Structure formats: structure tokens, C-alpha cells
Structure 1
Amino acid sequence: MRSRFLSLITAIGLSLAVLPAQAQVNDRQTNALVEALRQAAPQTGRTDDGLYSEWQVMPGNIGRWSRSCIGRELSPSQFETSPATARSIVACVMRDVLQAEYRNSDDEAIAVRRAAAWWMTGDSSRYNRPETRDYTNRVLSLYQQQIGTATAQQPSTQSTSRSQSTAFDRYMRAGYAATNARDYPTALLYFRRAIDERPNNQYAQQAIQNVERYLQPQ
């Protein structure tokens, strides 16, 4: 048990040591991508198309994403009728996707297109395929309009990007990632470190409660 605990602590230390050195996606970039995805969402013209909110989210994703991002599971109808909550959940999901894609490509425009492909197909490598190229280019164009420049700035060159990624944010994102991977002991350690940073944060408190519930014997 002790060796397992030490291994978890080591893993946390290594992962957090890497995070600050990587390009950090800031709120402005995340919000620009979220709005671009909303504007680019396909409009079926039907109210019974099985997709929810202005982002056209499949119902199977709503419960999982809401549990990870706000600490409670929303039904599709709850997600549909609360645009602000829907936006915050999409932002929570897509911040990590954009961050990961920027790390992989070291190019913001490509990262945005890859994130758009992930949103559309679940596979970011399809960003330049014939069937997705027009969509990912449209998302990039809308993203750039939101940023306010025709040439997206790389996060790694902006000191504000690094400063806006706090230790609390990194602990929470790492905790959510571990939760999604069903690595609940590691998730619990991350969330407890997040609560050390912000003792009264309700999201961290709820995340701890959720993970502790997952860890209870069934």
C-alpha cells in the first residue's frame, strides 16, 4: 500500500512538473473555440434530431461530461435548457482537447482544426480529410474572428497564457482526466491538492465527494 501511494505521489509530481513547461491555453482561446463550435454546429432544422443545445451534443456525452466538469450529472433536457451551463461544460471539455492538440502540433491553427475534428468525429487526426476539411477550416476561421486576428497567436509566446493556468486549474484538470480514466485514487489525490489551493471551492469539494463515492465498495 505504501509503495502504491508513493508511486501515485511520484506520478503527480512528474505530471505537474511537465504541465507548466507546456503551452497553456487561456480562457480567451478556450472561449473562442467554444463559440466557434457553436456557430459552426450543423443545423438539421428538426427539433427531434436527438442532439442537444446550440452545440448539438449527443445525449451519451452529456451525463459523462457534466459529472466530470460540474460534479453532477445533467439530463439532456437540463443541458438543453441551460445555455450557460452547457457553454461551461463544453469549455471544460474543449480546453483540455485544445491543450492536448497544441502540445501535439505546436501550431495553434492546426491545434484548433484538430480539436474541431475531435468534436465532430472523435478522431482529431481526421482534421484534413475531405469529409471534415471544410468544417475544421470553418471552425478555425470563426475562432480567428473571435480572437480578433487573422493569425492565431501561439499560446507558448504569451506570458498571460502561462500566468492564467494556476496550480488549482492544473490539479483540477488532472483530477478530471484521472476520473475519466477511472483511476480514482489518483483523481482523489489531485482533487485534494486542488482543495488545498482553494479550500472553499464547490467544484473541488463536489469532485472529491464523487470520487470517494466511486471508491466505495459496491
Structure 2
Amino acid sequence: MPKHETTVQINMTGPYWIGAIRLCIRGKGQSSVNSTLQELDFCHFYSTSNKAIGRITYIPIVLIKNINMTHALSESDQTNYSGLWIPTFTNGSLSDEEYYIEFGNYLRYMSSLTVIQIMLDERPFFIKNIEEPIVRTAELIFKVLLFTSLCIELFAFMFLIINLFILPLLRSIFYLWKKCRGQNVKSDNSNRSTKSSLRSNSLNKKDSIRMMKS
């Protein structure tokens, strides 16, 4: 666009009634080393219910630049830029009300000439979107090393806890269990010996009683 404001006039000759207009804005994209202009392809439909479009119709369109800035993962790499024109279609007066105000009657017959003026307005401001990586390469390496050292420290701490607390506790529990089991075995043996001695004494008494009776 040579200027910030440009007007394009379309003259349609012939005895036609025009009830609606479909306006499209298209443009080819361009790309260079690190900048890309995306393809422009927008359409909008203009119409009025139960009315014809007037002889002279003004359609304002506002164009706003949308710029995307994408930073690379490494600081030594180039930053990529991409741009896109975003049009805003404004609904102007499409009916023949202005013709009635100017001439005192409505457009009842087919018009021999219909003029459509499209006013393109490029706004001086723009929308800027900045895309940055979550982490840089050097920072990523540092965080990986930090995480690795943390894992090693955790494993070393767990090994120390196991050797100082858990293994001695298990050994003491096993020793107490073995000791209690040995005492139970001794008590069982003593009970068995006392029972056998009592049985032998009772048998001896019975034998002596039998001998005395005989």
C-alpha cells in the first residue's frame, strides 16, 4: 500500500439490481531468510434485507499488522519474523436511504451505474506476539546436570540411611527373634524331659506296688 489510506472505486454499469456484495481481499505471501509475510485471504458478505444496494456505496476496511517474533533455542541463531494483515470489515450504509434523502424517492428502477468505494485504512499501530523457548540450551544443560547431581545425592543418602539405620534394625530384630526361638526350644525340651521323668516315676511306683502285692 503506497499510503496509510487508499480508496478503491468499482464502477458497475448496466441495468442491474444489486442485492448483496461478497468482498474478498487476497494477496500472495513472501518469504526471505528469517522473515515471512503470510498469504492474505479474507472475505466478507454485505447485504441488506429486502432492499437493493444504493447507487453509491462506501465500504470502509481497517487493516492492522500482526507481527510474530519467534526466538531461537540458541542465542546465536537468528530470530524469525512472520507477519499477517488482519482486515476489519465495517458495515457501512448499503441501502438506498441516502438516495431517498438526496432525490426524495426510492430507487424503484434498475440502476444504470452502481459505484462501490472501498476505503482501505492502514493503522499505524501493530500487534506484536513474542514467542520464546521455555529454556535455552545452556540453561537446559545446567538444569540436567543439577538434576543428575540431585539424583546421585538422593541415592547416596538412601544408601547411608539403609546402612546406618535399616540394616542394624533388621539385624537386631533377627537376633531377638532367634534368641526367643532358642528359649522356646529349650523350654520345650525341659517340659518334655520333666514329662518323661514323671512317666518313668509313675511306672516305677506301679511296678513296686505290683511286686508287693505278689
TM range (shorter): under 0.3
Greater C-alpha radius of gyration:
2
TM-score of the superposed pair, with normalisation by structure 2: 0.18
